[in-house]
Structure 1
Amino acid sequence: MVTTIRSIEGDTVDLVALRAYGRTAGATETLLDANPGIAARGVFLPVGTVLTVPDITFSEPTASLVTLWD
């Protein structure tokens, strides 16, 4: 399902990603891909800019164990 979000004062694409997905890593890129030309609007989005927010699933990286001393 694809939804939309309207930007508020001071919003950047990163802040919209954080609000929509709870993270920025991988989410900012998804928003930029789903909203062609949005980067041309500048760092701070104009108030009321409508962004398409697609559903995405994040695969969490597995933590590797590092042993400093044996």
Structure 2
Amino acid sequence: MPSIYTTKQGQTVDLACQDFYGRTRDVTEAVLDANPGIAALGAVLPIGTVLVMPDIDTRPVARPLVSLWE
């Protein structure tokens, strides 16, 4: 079930994602899709803008290991 997030002063969509999910990778686009028309408000969202935050797996994304000697 999606959650609701209310923006703070000076927040952009990606900063709201960082605050809510703990990351921006793979979530910013989902939040933009869940909130049609949010881009029309401008880069910096007005204080108190209500965003629908879709359910996204918040586990850290595993990065592949890089070996220098293979």
**TM score, norm. by length of structure 2:** 0.84
Distance 1:20 1:58 in 2: 10
> What residue is the counterpart of 2:67 in the other structure?
66
**TM score, norm. by length of structure 1:** 0.84
1:1-60 CA distance string (max 9 Å, x none): 211011111010011000110000111111101001111110100111100001112673
> What residue is the counterpart of 1:29 in the other structure?
29
Summarize the Cα distance change of 1:58–1:7 in structure 2 as closer, same or farther, 3 Å threshold: closer
Identity of aligned residues (%): 45
> Cα RMSD between the aligned structures?
1.8
**Structure 1 position 62, deviation (Å):** 4.2
Unaligned runs of 5+ in 2: none
Equivalences, count: 69
User: 2:3–2:52: 8 Å Cα contact kept in structure 1?
Assistant: yes
Distance 2:9 2:66 in 1: 42
User: 2:22–2:58: 8 Å Cα contact kept in structure 1?
Assistant: no
Unaligned runs of 5+ in 1: none
Of structures 1 and 2, the larger Rg is shown by 1
